[in-house]
Amino acid sequence: MNLQETINASTKPFLIAGPCSVENPAQVLEVALALAEYGKIKMLRGGIWKPRTRPDSFEGVGVIGLPWLVEAGKEANLPVCTEIANKNHVEAALKAGVDVLWIGARTTVNPFAVQEIADALKGTSIPVMIKNPINPDLELWIGAFERLDKAGISDLTAIHRGFSVYNHPKYRNVPNWEIPIALCERMPNIPIICDPSHISGRRDLLLEVSQKGLDLNFDGLMIETHPNPDTAWSDAAQQLTPDNLFRLLEQLVQRSPSLDKYTEKELEEIRDKISVLDDRVFDLLSARMNMSVNAGELKMKHNITIFQQEHWAKMKNKRLNMADDYNLTPFFVQQMMDAIHQESIRHQTKVMNPKQDNSSDK
């Protein structure tokens, strides 16, 4: 199959579902038949090898599970996909007749591992999906696509599963939606699938994250599904029964990326007003940096440091405390204040150390 063409030809969202881990033939077959009966699921997923954080965790049934997955797919008339992390996995999956492979986040983060997989896939035409690396590094994610493409694997799809973070109060892996959006800008021909299971880490957030993915015009969803999630051998908290998956999918709203000519005209009027406001924002920022230059000249005259910690903390806390008044999130205010501060430091550094090149400072 050509996955890119299939996704582009399908009605959104392109749906992939199945257990986090293949546990036994009966389990994966039960899920596959239930998914097929629903009629909207396009592909069966199932983990054979599971890269786990701790060595005593369940790390998948291994190669013996491949025929269980493939046979379940045949019985349900669904193509199957599984995760691979090295050349041995590639060889075993190809030999078993797996239709689509995916590279997981813990593998994408390692260019050596991705290159090993790319080399093992040379001469094949199997579709490959690539999850984002565990850390929020767009270039590393793009690099994985480039390595596969150079090996002659052109049928590529992205999977956004969020990024690792310590003890986040809401998500298992924070979505950082700006990174998959940037991927779409850089690689517009690559379809992108949202993996709400790994972003949320819990069932009660799956609907919210799935809808966000669709609202951002992602091409599909990959959601983990198990006959009895509470007894699952891995990632029990984020899996759904097939029935609950279907209920979730029926609640999703699929929005259109295109507009009729009347709505387009209305939107253009709003965008024009936004553009005027943006011009004002950047004019103010430019004026703000001119004042930073004045501050730098005064600091140089009196030989004092650029960074004034007490003053900066006072300024930033003032804006953060007013976030609700601005109708902005504290996170956005924090990011904006930090960006303004760094640009101000760059301008003052240029004044106080004119021979230094700080144009690339972040």
- What's the pLDDT band for 362 if we cut at 50, 70, 90? low
More confident residue, 39 or 355: 39
Task: Report which of 220, 213, 199 is spatially closest to residue 16, judged by C-alpha positions.
Answer: 220
**Residue 110 confidence (pLDDT):** 97
* Percentage, residues of the chain above pLDDT 70: 98
**Residue 359 confidence (pLDDT):** 59
Q: Which of 148-162, 322-336, 342-356 has the lowest mean pLDDT?
A: 342-356
Checking if the pLDDT of 285 tops 70, the result is yes
- What's the pLDDT band for 360 if we cut at 50, 70, 90? low
Task: Report which of 40, 45, 44 is spatially closest to residue 13, judged by C-alpha positions.
Answer: 40
In this predicted model, what pLDDT tens digit does every residue of 63-81 receive, in sequence order?
999 999 999 999 999 999 9
Structural tokens at position 14:
């392109």
How far is 235 from 301, CA to CA, in rounded Å?
A: 61
C-alpha neighbours within 13 Å on the C-beta side of residue 166:
0
Cβ neighbours of residue 339 closer than 8 Å, sequence gap 6 or more:
none
Task: Quote the DSSP letter at residue 170.
Answer: S
Checking if the pLDDT of 280 tops 60, the result is yes
C-alpha neighbours within 13 Å on the C-beta side of residue 112:
0
DSSP string, 221-257: EEEEB-SSGGG-SS-GGG-B-HHHHHHHHHH-----S
Task: Report which of 113, 98, 220 is spatially closest to residue 157, judged by C-alpha positions.
Answer: 220
- What's the pLDDT band for 260 if we cut at 50, 70, 90? confident
Checking if the pLDDT of 34 tops 60, the result is yes
Q: Which of 35-44, 50-59, 78-87, 99-108 has the lowest mean pLDDT?
A: 50-59
Given CA atoms 353, 355, 359, 360 in this order, what sign does their dihedral have? negative
**Residue 55 confidence (pLDDT):** 82
- What's the pLDDT band for 47 if we cut at 50, 70, 90? very high
Class (C level, CATH) for 261-352 = mainly alpha
CB contact at 8 A, 149 and 158: no
Checking if the pLDDT of 361 tops 80, the result is no
**How big is the CA angle at 212 (ends 206 and 215), to the nearest 5 degrees?**
140
In this predicted model, what pLDDT tens digit does every residue of 98-146 receive, in sequence order?
999 999 999 999 999 999 999 999 999 999 999 999 999 999 999 999 9
Q: Give backbone dihedrals phi and psi of 295, rounded to 5 degrees, phi first.
A: -65, -40
Checking if the pLDDT of 18 tops 90, the result is yes
**Residue 257 confidence (pLDDT):** 80
Q: Which CATH code, of 3.30.40.230, 3.30.360.10, 3.40.50.720, 3.20.20.70, is assigned to 3-251? A: 3.20.20.70
Q: Where are the domains of the chain?
A: 3-251, 261-352
Checking if the pLDDT of 357 tops 70, the result is no
71 exposure class (CB count in 10 Å sphere: 0-12, 13-18, 19+) = middle
Mean pLDDT estimate for the chain:
95
In this predicted model, what pLDDT tens digit does every residue of 151-166 receive, in sequence order?
999 999 999 999 999 9
Mean pLDDT of 194-199: 98
How far is 140 from 163, CA to CA, in rounded Å?
A: 13
What H or E segment, with its residue span, contains residue 12?
Answer: none
- What's the pLDDT band for 256 if we cut at 50, 70, 90? confident
